[in-house]
Amino acid sequence: MDLVQREISKETVTPYFIEYFGQAPTHVAAAPGRVNLIGEHTDYNNGFVMPMALDNHCVVAVAPSPVGKHRFCGSLGDQIHEIAVEDALVPGEPFWSNYVRGVLANLHRRGIEIGPVDMLIDSNVPRGGGLSSSAALEVAVCTALAAFAGVEIDPKEVALIGQAVEHEFVNVPCGIMDQFISANGKKGMALKLDCATLEYELVPMNNESVSVLVLDSAVKHSLADGAYGQRRKQCEEASSIMGVPSLREATLELLESFREQLGDVRYRRARHVIGENARVNAFANALARGDWDEAGVAMRGSHASLRDDYEVSCAEVDTLVSLCDRIPSASSIYGARMTGGGFGGCIVALVKTEDVEKVAQELLDGYCQETGIETTYLVTRAGEGARVLYQA
């Protein structure tokens, strides 16, 4: 995965759309990827998360198809795939078309019929690094098709459609965080979401003196898929043993009183979730006060808990996070942690802006020295959520 940016917009996709389909798009929409600042593996436990949208996004251009079928192509250079309108409502090939099929099926279920459509998709959200390129795709497709159909869909509903696509068409039992921030993100703001009620508050993340640094470990361990579902199951078992509807309702006192019945693994999984919810609140409060040191404490605690209790980190990511305490410019870093589902992917760090390039370079060098892996980084601002860029 390369974190170096390539600009994409309505202007960059339109010439390709014309080349592929012989006509100009009638609607163009965009939706961003995300970096999660804190609150990991809490969303499917009805807990709190605090992501922000990236400036990187997926752009989807559409127009009525003159050939009576859906036609779509993926990133530039891909061939055109044709699908009969009815066939687009069930999973099929190529695999990535399921993101489009799933959105069409979910719109259909809500009574929104999409006539034959030509669709071109481009994205500069890095793929495979835990920055939610899939959520960006689902939310961008949904936003473009809603504009195409002339309907307004509440961004919360757009997020739920994206999540349903993952569950039903891609077989990923994810929570709501990634799609929610992609649909609801606001420029310059982090978003603290209560995943039980989908109520949220926006917290300014536009302090010029602090930068968000995202650094890729450039590894993705294959056990990620099964391990995610397994963690979910362990959490459900833990809440059922403790007699609470979800780990959101559990407290550390309750957890201690069930320690033996839970067994070591379920006990530690639940301890992570309970502690992580508290850390999201501490982090949000610290941000509101502009107390970056305190925010950093919560991030460090989050990483340790994900590593030791939830066991979703990996050696490479731990190396990157520990380098944040060991590089010469370590004092310019407020805090760092793994971000996303885990088993590889990226770390996120809050860094003094004046030193951020130096810090990034020291981390790249240190990481290469210790693991032999060369990688890339991104200094990012909180970007805007899903939006229609153009309608004819």
Residues annotated as catalytic are 178
Q: Residues with Cβ < 8 Å from 58, sequence gap 6 or more?
A: 30, 31, 32, 33, 121, 122, 123, 125, 133, 136, 137, 139, 140
Q: Which window, 69-77, 172-180, 212-220, 323-331, contacts ligand GAF (CB under 6 A)?
A: 172-180
Span from 106-114, 173-181, 207-215, 381-389 in contact with ligand GAF (CB under 6 A): 173-181
CA 372 to chain centre: 27
**Residue 122 or 178 having the CB closest to ligand GAF:** 178
162 binds ligand GAF (CB under 6 A): no
Provide the minimum distance between the beta carbon of 46 and ligand GAF in the complex, in angstroms, as a whole number.
12
- Rounded Cα distance, 390 and 25, in Å: 9
Closest CA to 304 of 282, 321, 316, 289: 321
In the complex with ligand GAF, which residue's Cβ is closer, 12 or 281? 281
Residue 226, number of CB atoms within 10 A of its CB: 9
Judged by CB under 6 A, the chain residues 175 through 204 that form the site for ligand GAF are 175, 177-178
- Amino acid 62 reads V
CA distance readout (Å), 102 to 2, 266, 273: 28, 33, 30
Interacting span for ligand GAF (CB under 6 A) from 20-28, 171-179, 245-253, 323-331: 171-179
User: Which span (59-67, 107-115, 174-182, 380-388) binds ligand GAF, by CB under 6 A?
Assistant: 174-182
Q: Cβ closer to ligand GAF: 32 or 340?
A: 340
- Residue 103 CB, nearest approach to ligand GAF (Å): 17
The CA distance from 182 to 132, in Å, is: 9
- Chain residues 10-69 in contact with ligand GAF, contact rule CB under 6 A: 40-41, 43-44
Nearest approach, Cβ of residue 339 and ligand GAF (Å): 8
Q: Could you tell me where the DSSP H helices lie in 64-132?
A: 97-109
Instruction: Compute the distance between CA of residue 112 and CA of residue 392 in angstroms, rounded to an integer.
Output: 20
**CA angle, 123 then 223 then 326, to 5°:** 80
Instruction: Yes or no: say if 304 and 275 are a contact pair by the CB < 8 Å rule.
Output: no
Shortest approach of ligand GAF to residue 34 CB, angstroms?
9
Each residue 280-299 as x (binds ligand GAF by CB under 6 A) or -, in order, gives --------------------
In whole angstroms, the minimum distance from the beta carbon of 50 to ligand GAF comes to 11
CB of 258 to ligand GAF, least distance (A): 24
Contact (Cβ atoms closer than 8 angstroms) between residue 267 and residue 255: yes
Mask for 331-350, x = binds ligand GAF (CB under 6 A): ---------xx---------
Dihedrals φ, ψ of 274, to 5°? Answer: -65, -45
Q: Which run of H or E residues covers position 352?
A: strand 344-352
User: Toward ligand GAF, which CB reaches closer, 123 or 332?
Assistant: 123
**Binding residues for ligand GAF (CB under 6 A):** 40-41, 43-44, 174-175, 177-178, 340-341
